Amino acid sequence: MSYFRITLMRSAIGLPQRTTGVLKALGLKKRMATVFHPVSLDVAGQIMKVKELVSVQEVDRPLTKQEVHLQRKPDPGYYIECHSGQEDA
């Protein structure tokens, strides 16, 4: 059982009510929002309705909101060797 990772790349402003409704049903409220849905015929049909607006990947498990956020976070440019009050091995 795998999942669709769906990200809204283009906004639906100015598009018909049907399109906005499909996005709402998928749970995509603003651009760059990411949702996970199990692979099924229903979801496939919904994606096909908004195929011009979204980017889709097939993934093994749904990520939490925090995990998606961490993936989008840029590299800080440093790494922590050890914290204060801690002996490094």
Partner 1 sequence: MFKSTSPLFGGLLWKIPWRLSPPQKARQRKRLRAVDEVVDTVSEALKRNGMPMAKAVERWYAEMPQEEEMLPKDKYTIYDRKEKSYRKGIHSK
Would you tell me which residues interact with partner 1 (CB under 8 A)? 1-2, 4, 9, 39-41, 44-45, 47-49, 51-52, 54-58
CB-wise, 27 or 45, nearer to partner 1?
45
CB-wise, 2 or 11, nearer to partner 1?
2
Distance of CA 70 to CAs 12, 23, 60, 76, 88, Å?
A: 26, 24, 18, 12, 26
CB of 58 to partner 1, least distance (A): 4
Residue 34 DSSP class: E
Strand partners, 8: 54
Report yes or no: 49 and 25 within 8 Å, Cβ to Cβ.
no
CB of 53 to partner 1, least distance (A): 9
CB of 10 to partner 1, least distance (A): 9
